[in-house]
Amino acid sequence: MKFLSLKPTALVLASQLLFVAATAAAEPLDYSVSWVGNSFSGASNKWVQNFFIHTGVQPDGTVNTWSHWDEGGKKFGVYKNGDVVGNTNVNPNSLETRDQQGRLWKLNVEYTDPKHQEWEFKPKGITCAGAAVTFPGLFQPMAIAMANDGSLMIGDSGTGPCQQVLLYDVADIAKPKLVKTFGDYGGIGSGTPGQITPKKLWGIRGLGMDAKGNLYVAMSEQGSVLRSFAPDGKLLWEVHGEFFCDLAVADPSNNAADVWGIQERYAMDWSKPAGADSKWISYTLDRHKYPNDPRGLMHVKQQGEHGLTSPQIVYLEGKRFMFVGGMFASNFINIFRFDGEIAVPSGLIMQWGNNLYNTDLKWPPNKPESKASIWRDLNGDGDYQANEFAANTDRVNPGPFRVDQKGNIWMAYGFFRYDFQGLDEQGNPIYSADKITVLDKPKGVKKVARVVYLDDTDTLIVAEEGSDMRHISRVFICKDYLTGNRETVSFAPGAGTEAACVTAAGDYAFTGGWKERGRIWVNRLSDGAELGVLEPGPTVGGVNNTGWIDLLTGINAFRRQDGEYLVFVEENYKAKSLIYRWRPGAPAEDREPQGSTQHR
């Protein structure tokens, strides 16, 4: 073999020419930035915080809230007239209030996991000046406050059937009288279950009334909703922030006319500007009907495990299903079928037998101890019975996964596939330990840490593990994988050693990294070439106002029928999901610039 010898000056010249050529090949990406999951974009230091645990209302209608955690540091929120107006602590307390006689009313609670957290509790009862008071028609009190007329307002919520604000005449504490109710009985499960209307309440964690008699209701079930109602019951305003360690995903059945979160459905109007393009129309969690749904259990979804993130919407035999992983290792894959707008626990693939991290509480109920298992809702009640668990394969390891359009679940670690076996009589997808396919790694791949499969083009995209399972090192693209090809093209992710996530749609791969604050690199699938970077623009406050991507599966992408690409990015710092809208080759004048970036 003959080698070409170059002098040092020639080497420098050659490297310069290569750099110029590469830079010229990567034209600026032209795109716009939007978001979903919060009333505010996070720009100008405005966003609705993660969680409302305690709430207080001032006479002028100022609402003070307390959260046990907000990723952006807004532990204390101040809201007024539908706006974010501050960040001050006045020690609001949804569990105590004083009446006009000066008597102290207390909602006594038992914290479910006091060694690890201070926000999830079971109510034990209400006392007045230390004396127990029994209220007729009350199921699960979760918050109390005084009304202007001296009646005691109680948020009857949790997993109870009521989901209303109950107002009691407490002049005689021996015989409280229910004088008024506010809200639709049954909450989100009433009327058309899951459909959001102003008077459907859920997860009530705070109440209050201003001097004008306006009622304020704070709700929090892994998200935050604050509503203000006039004395006649008319909704005056609402602010909300639904996302914590979560990601939005486009509905593949209707060209992204709908976008889903773990508990939310949004109707999208892509002709409207950023912030006006989404409308929250459905809340898919019904804690009363399905009390063990992990989406409603903070110790499963939000505590150390961060066990439910990054939904995937898949249609099997004409029916919609949602597959949900976790923040880091996806220790379990939760599968939900839909009953109208409500997502019902349908299946569960436990990837190990360990208990939940950083909690003494156990979930799911009746699971086999110390064994990886598969659960299916055999009797259709959306709950977990011991006889519904079966053994899982020994090949399983915690890690990211991808569900293809046929319902097969591609597993990264162990590199195998759960093969979809159809639906059972209850409408649940069937998976079993003896119905798996062990997959061949494409050429050059040592250890698969992420996996994406595109049915339309039979393209497999895998990423190798980096310094640990939270990071990836190189991305490999294998065309015609199921027809037998194992040849690959590959590229190094633009985030370098911080790279963590990869997804793909149409003709492109997208990667992101932990500390890259929402930046997404775009590479061509045909040859792996890097085309440029998508960055948070001024609409959301820019790069420095954007948080880390906290998930192993913190991005996903969808190509719309008109060729536009939607790239969704987890953005926990300001409680939302970013949306990049990119149309390859679109003239710059046709799109609103949002910080286009040259190849680096």
Tokens 């963590």 found at = 500
State the pLDDT at residue 11.
Answer: 32
CA-to-CA dists, residue 506 to 65, 476, 529, 533, angstroms:
44, 16, 15, 17
For residues 109 and 172, the answer to whether their CB atoms sit within 8 Å is no
Among 151, 238, 159, which Cα is nearest to 197's? 238
- Residue 109 pLDDT exceeds 80: yes
Q: How far out from the chain centre does Cα 272 lie?
A: 23
Res. 189: pLDDT tops 70: yes
Query: CA 318, CA 385: separation in Å to the nearest integer?
Result: 28
For residue 586, the model assigns a pLDDT of 63
- 279's enclosing H/E stretch is strand 278-283
Mean pLDDT value across the chain: 91
Give the pLDDT confidence score for residue 495 in this predicted structure. Answer: 97
Residue 590 has φ and ψ, to the nearest 5°, of -85, -10
Q: Report the range of poorest mean pLDDT among 174-188, 239-253, 512-526, 584-598.
A: 584-598
User: How confident is the model at residue 329, as a pLDDT?
Assistant: 64
Beta strands in 326-388 (DSSP E): 332-339, 342-350, 373-376
Question: The whole model's pTM is what?
Answer: 0.93
137-185 residue pLDDT tens? 999 999 999 999 999 999 999 999 999 999 999 999 999 999 999 999 9
Q: How confident is the model at residue 355, as a pLDDT?
A: 83
Measured between alpha carbons, how far is 326 from 301 in angstroms, rounded to an integer?
8
Residue 5 has pLDDT above 50, yes or no: no
pLDDT tens-place string over residues 406-422: 999 999 999 999 999 99
Q: What is the mean predicted confidence (pLDDT) over 571-590?
A: 83
Does residue 525 register a pLDDT over 70?
yes
Q: What is the DSSP letter of 101?
A: T
Report residue 310 CA to chain centroid gap: 6
Question: What are the pLDDT digits (tens) for 311-370?
Answer: 999 999 999 999 999 887 668 899 999 999 999 999 999 988 878 888 888 899 999 987
Domain 51-241 carries which CATH code?
2.40.10.500
Please state, in angstroms and rounded to a whole number, the distance separating the CA atoms of residues 221 and 322. Answer: 19
Longest CA–CA span in the chain (Å) reads 102
Say what the pLDDT of residue 333 is.
95
- Which part of the chain has CATH 2.40.10.500? 51-241
For residue 235, which of 265, 196, 270 has the smallest C-alpha distance?
A: 196
Question: Is residue 262 scored above 70 in pLDDT?
Answer: yes
| Single-letter code of the amino acid located at 532 | G
Interatomic CA distance for residues 59 and 79, integer angstroms: 13
Q: Quick one: which of 95, 98, 39, 91 has its CA closest to 65?
A: 91
